[in-house]
A and B are shown apart, each in its own frame.
Chain A
Amino acid sequence: MATNPVPDHVPPEMVRDFSLFTSPGMSPTPNGDPQAAVACVHAGPPIFYSPCNTRDGRGTWVITRASDQRRVLQDAETFSSHRSIFASALGENWPMIPLELDPPAHGVFRSLLNPLLSPKRVMALEPAVRERAIELIERIAASGTSCDVMKDFAFPFAVSIFLRFLGLPDDRLDTFVGWGKDLLHGDDVKRPAAARTIVAFIDELAAMRREDAVDDFMTFIVQAQVEGRRLTDTQVRGIGVLVFVAGLDTVAAAIGFDLAYLARNLKDQQLLRSEPERIVLAAEELLRVYPTVQLIRVATKDINFEGAPIRKGDYVSCATMIANRDPAEFECPNTIDLEREDNRHAAFGYGPHRCLGSHLARREIVIGLEEWLARIPAFRIKRGTAPITTGGHVFGIENLILDWS
Chain B
Amino acid sequence: MRIIVQNSKCQGHARCAAQAPDIFKLDDEGYILPGDIEVAEGEELPASRGARSCPERALELDRTPAARVE
Contact = CB atoms under 8 A, between A and B. Distances in A.
Interface of A: 70, 74, 111, 114-115, 117-120, 342, 344-346, 348, 350-352, 354, 358-359
Given A70-B57, A342-B52, A119 B30 contact: yes
Contact of B11 (A120, A345, A350): A350
Contacts of A342: 49, 52-53
Contacts of A359: 14, 30
Interface residues of B, number: 20
Nearest to B28: A115
B47 interface: no
B12 A114 contact: yes
Contacts of B17: 119
Contact of B55 (A117, A118, A345): A345
B55 A120 contact: no
B26 A119 contact: yes
B29 A118 contact: yes
Interface in B1-49: 9, 11-15, 17-18, 26, 28-31, 49
B56 interface: yes
A150 to B, nearest CB: 28
B30 A120 contact: yes
Contacts of B11: 350-352, 354
Given A70-B56, A115-B28, A354-B11, 18 more contacts: A111-B29, A114-B12, A114-B28, A115-B30, A118-B30, A119-B17, A119-B26, A120-B28, A342-B52, A342-B53, A344-B53, A344-B54, A346-B55, A348-B13, A348-B55, A351-B11, A351-B56, A354-B13
A350 B57 CA distance: 10
A114 B30 contact: yes
B55 A350 contact: yes
B37 to A, nearest CB: 18
Contacts of A119: 14, 17-18, 26, 30
A367 to B, nearest CB: 15
Query: When A and B form their complex, which 9 residue pairs have the shortest distance between CB atoms, in order from nearest?
Result: A114-B29, A118-B30, A354-B11, A344-B55, A119-B14, A342-B52, A115-B28, A119-B30, A115-B29
Contacts of A350: 11, 55-56
Interface of B: 9, 11-15, 17-18, 26, 28-31, 49, 52-57
Contact of B12 (A70, A345, A354): A354
Which of B13, B15, B17, B52 is the most central at the interface, judged by chain A CB atoms within 10 Å of its CB?
B13
Contacts of B53: 342, 344
Contacts of B13: 348, 354, 358
A352 B15 CA distance: 15
Contacts of B52: 342, 344
Contacts of B29: 111, 114-115, 118
A180 to B, nearest CB: 25
Given A351-B11, A354-B13, A74 B56 contact: yes
Select the residue from B9, B15, B29, B31 with max chain A CB neighbours within 10 A. Answer: B29
A106 to B, nearest CB: 12
B46 to A, nearest CB: 13
A212 to B, nearest CB: 28
Contacts of A348: 13, 55
Contacts of B15: 344
